[in-house]
Structure 1
Amino acid sequence: MTDNPRKEANVLIRIVLVQNNPVFGEVAGNLDRVKALYGGRKGLRPDLVIFPELFASGYQFTSKSEALSLGEGDGRDGREKGPTVRFLEEFSMETKGWVVGGLPLRRGNKVYNSAVVTHHGTVMAIYDKTHLFEAENRWFERGSGPLCLVRTEFGLMGVMICFDWLFPEVTRSLALSGALLIAHPVNWVLPFGPQGMILRSVENRVFTATANRVGEEARGGFKPLRYIGSSQVVSPQGEILARAPEEAESLLEIQCDPELARSKRVVEESDFFRQRRPDLYRN
């Protein structure tokens, strides 16, 4: 975990979700379009900006060689930083907040579907997607953990990527470890994702902030993929605080108080976490 001093309790934070439509493989052009999309809103000064999964590379890879070609270095262990990593660093410097974005990271001959967390121009955390979806298993390596928790001035923030959400253990583990908010870059094509994240918020009493993309991809003879947009922020009570359109690029801005996620009570005498029975649960 990364240390950072906490804000005073009950202070609203501003979250911005970026919903874009990247062209596969055109990393520089996609980053320029994201800058243009955000450009008219530079006065936002968000505490947290979340970009989708693989937001600059595109999603529908057709070969391992494509993944290796688009895989970027993260600047660690002598690896040169790729353009998306540098963009995320610069973006966090410009906004003076936290930034989370998804990209392919390469380490040797292995490529991971990853999320990078930056703050004040520095990479603070990296998370490799734990649960790969469909053809991702052909191009990417599974993340081997640990799950990602980052200490921010607004409390602990968890990070997971897309398909991770369908494994409830991920969200629950992050919440049990103290996460008040979960940043969730996705490339959703399954229609029940937005509604499913309402349940994840409710059963763990956390805020979830999901950034999706829009558009379609049909490459290499694979089945066409249509991305459903609907980026959203959900409260610990299951309220959809904001949701983006299904088909249009957009910026979604919302304010929330992460401190509200500290209470795990459903009603006065029922606390989700204190009433757990791990002695009865089995793998």
Structure 2
Amino acid sequence: MDLNSIEAVARPRQRADLAGFAGGDAFLAGGTWLFSEPQPQLKRLIDLTALGWQALHADADGLAIAATCTVAELDAFEAQDAWTAAPLIGLACRAFLASFKIWNTATVGGNLCMGLPAGPMISLAAALEGVCEIWTPDGGERRLPVVDFVRGPQHNALAPGEVLRAIHLPREALTRRFAFRRASLSPIGRSGVLLIGTLAGAEMALTVTASTRRPVRLAFAGMPDAATLAGRLAAEIPDALYYDDMHGRPDWRRHMTFIFAEEIRTELAEARA
């Protein structure tokens, strides 16, 4: 869609060029949502892709994913053999159910910033304890866990002028066992429920996304029994937190969340044994 209100497009080459963010400005990465509907309030776009950030960087600490990394670039990443949770990357990318045009344009950072419940990059990063690196307008930076960064549909923790620079996935999280469950109302529909469980020694974590308005992560010091898991889900996800849209009613999302959570618990318990 043409954005007829845009008067200028800035293409910064270095961080200093990002100064001067004002009302009517918007940061542009892939733009798959930005150009999908009218944005009459916008006057200027700031193209972050011109900064030339390295899409992916793996080292002893884990994996750094640039906010401008595309879905196609992330899916093509070849992980270390020791990173047993790396197959989650491909599973999350395919949860988009998008065309090759979207894969080659949509960015990881854009998916997080939109905060839509079905955003699979949110699911991936939250389950693997991702941490957002955020550039502040004064030249500093701050870090925030993905589960705190995403606050709801089209609502994130960025203040005006702040930029999501990268998402860091720690090595420890990448070396865990995992279990993945996803459901939608149709074979090629948007995710209505997406749960990921991880296991590190005796510790289990369960991340609930797509069914809830924001990601919810439950951590257990040991493998919980079925009653304990169900109790935590009921206590920490109130009915009002389940999302309601054309891709699933809240009662269905809640029902499937409990079913998938128990399936994941059983699978990880068997894997540990």
TM range (shorter): under 0.3
TM superposition score normalised by structure 2: 0.27
Greater fraction of residues in strand: 1
Answer 1 or 2: higher relative contact order, Cα 8 Å, separation at least 6: 1
Greater fraction of residues in helix: 2
Larger Rg: 2
